[in-house]
Structure 1
Amino acid sequence: MKILCIADETDPLVYSKNIASRYADVDAIIAAGDLPLKYYEYIISSLNKPLFFVFGNHNLDFLHQFTSNAQPIMQYGYTDSTMQVLPSFGGDFVDGKVLYYRKQDLIVAGLGGAMRYNKGKHQFTEREMFLRMLKMVPRLLFNRILHGRYVDILLTHAAPLGLGDDTDRCHQGFSTFLTFMQWFKPRYLLHGHIHLQDMNANRHHVYKQTQVINIFQSYILQDPKLGKGSKNG
């Protein structure tokens, strides 16, 4: 499976007239937040591939439309009555959700937002993030029974604590994500939030059975064992 991953800043290689030829072979797009919805809309209309996203702590103008009064939808071969898609947008909001994408046999869970550092939107204390994770447990256990694994990808905005995060309060990672990886063994945790000034800087960390990748700006995730019947333990 090949996934175009994006976060935090628009990439001129993605936001270009050559996007359709450059990324014609991707199976899906994953977005870790802090990007305008118009950017997502452009990518979806150009590639005609599913896009799964969470919100970060910036570009939150439409956050309320995704987190309240959600309406049932059916899209990309699955149904989830707790999710909502803007009529003209088409991306799938997975923040606080667990989604099964039947076409690729891919399970994606999402926990967006950043550590609480002021009174801004979509910020959480460690306890609040842990409680958000607990709400996902029934669906994760269901996946284990039905699909043989809990989840393939955990999509977050913030990093896990001590794995590519920073020391200031805003960019501090969540220990909840460490617990999630220990309990549910995703193959990948994909996050943004930590801007890479040096694009050659290390994006990768490993925790237990999970590869942790900072997908700042853009990153191509290619794994033939991901989706289509992958087994993560």
Structure 2
Amino acid sequence: MKILCVADQRSPLVYSTGIKERFKDVDLVLGAGDLPMDYYGYIVSSLNKRLYFVFGNHNLKHYDRLARKSQAFSFDPESVNQHSFGSILATGRVIRDKKTGLIIVGMGGSIDYNHGVNQYTDSQMYLKLFRLIPRLLWNKLIHGRYMDIFLTHSPPRGLNDREDPCHRGFKSFVWFLDRFKPKYMLHGHIHLYERNIPREIQYKNTKIINVFDYYVLEPEL
């Protein structure tokens, strides 16, 4: 299985005429935020693959129409009208993708640094995560695991984040990883312009990956 992950900026290797050949064996696409919806649309129309996304703290033109309607519950992507540009909103949702069998939890936004749109305090983020618990417990009972992938825009506090107010991660995400143990956490928000900055770190049961620009994940589940 291969998953194309994108975040934060249009990649010239993705946004190109060669996308079909370069990513022809991709099974799923995940968007970790701060990307325009037409970019997601281009990926979906080019690859004809399902794309789940969360909003970041930029490129929020469609946020009012989609993300503020999002509620914490599990849903069937085939039947719920949460599509935009062919992509499916994952914010605040527990999703089991039927084609891959993956259980994905989405949570968008960044830490509150100037009271902007889609910014949250840690207390607010804890409440958002608490709403997911009933469905996660159901997954553990029925599927033997809470989730496979935690898809976010921001990183956890102290793990792949930075010290400036805008790019600090959520402490609540650390609690979430400790409690529900996803195999992977995929995030954006932290731009990687230097090659010596690591993209991946291992935290207990979870591999945390900064998918800035683009990243192809081959999950071991």
TM-score (norm 1): 0.89
Query: What are the Cα deviations for residues 22-42 of structure 1, in whole angstroms up to 9, with x where unaligned?
Result: 000001011100000000000
| Residue number among 61, 84, 88 corresponding to 2:82 in the alignment | 84
Query: What are the Cα deviations for residues 90-137 of structure 1, in whole angstroms up to 9, with x where unaligned?
Result: 211111111010111100001110000112100000000010000011
Question: What is residue 32 of structure 1 aligned with on the other side?
Answer: 32
Question: What is residue 209 of structure 2 aligned with on the other side?
Answer: 213
Question: What is residue 189 of structure 2 aligned with on the other side?
Answer: 193
Q: Tell me which amino acid in the other structure corresponds to 1:56.
A: G
Count of paired positions: 219
| Residue number among 164, 171, 177 corresponding to 1:175 in the alignment | 171
8 A contact 2:36–2:59 mirrored in 1: yes
Displaced runs of 4 or more, over 6 A:
none
**Counterparts of 1:164 and 1:70 in 2: how far apart (Å)?**
27
- Structure 2, unmatched stretches of 5+, are none
User: Are 1:141 and 2:140 counterparts?
Assistant: no
Q: Which moved more, 1:49-58 or 1:61-70?
A: 61-70
Alpha carbons of structure 1 residues 169 and 68: separation in structure 2 relative to 1, 3 Å: closer
**Counterparts of 2:36 and 2:69 in 1: how far apart (Å)?**
21
**Counterparts of 1:119 and 1:210 in 2: how far apart (Å)?**
30
Query: What are the Cα deviations for residues 194-229 of structure 1, in whole angstroms up to 9, with x where unaligned?
Result: 000114521111111000000000011112x33xxx
8 A contact 2:2–2:28 mirrored in 1: yes
Question: What is residue 159 of structure 1 aligned with on the other side?
Answer: 155
8 A contact 2:152–2:186 mirrored in 1: yes
**What is the CA-CA distance between 1:64 and the residue it aligns to?**
1.0
Alpha carbons of structure 1 residues 94 and 188: separation in structure 2 relative to 1, 3 Å: same
**What is the CA-CA distance between 1:85 and the residue it aligns to?**
1.4
**Counterparts of 1:42 and 1:29 in 2: how far apart (Å)?**
12
Question: What is residue 230 of structure 1 aligned with on the other side?
Answer: none
User: Are 1:18 and 2:18 counterparts?
Assistant: yes
8 A contact 2:76–2:95 mirrored in 1: no
**Counterparts of 2:161 and 2:124 in 1: how far apart (Å)?**
19
Q: Which moved more, 1:90-99 or 1:121-130?
A: 90-99
User: Are 1:116 and 2:83 counterparts?
Assistant: no
TM-score (norm 2): 0.94
3-state SS of the aligned residue for 1:4?
Answer: strand
**Counterparts of 2:69 and 2:187 in 1: how far apart (Å)?**
27
Q: Tell me which amino acid in the other structure corresponds to 1:174.
A: F
Give the aligned CA root-mean-square deviation in angstroms: 1.8
User: Are 1:95 and 2:86 counterparts?
Assistant: no
Q: Tell me which amino acid in the other structure corresponds to 1:182.
A: D
Question: What is residue 66 of structure 2 aligned with on the other side?
Answer: 66
- Structure 1, unmatched stretches of 5+, are 227-233
Question: What is residue 57 of structure 2 aligned with on the other side?
Answer: 57
Q: Which moved more, 1:51-60 or 1:62-71?
A: 62-71
Q: Tell me which amino acid in the other structure corresponds to 2:82.
A: Q
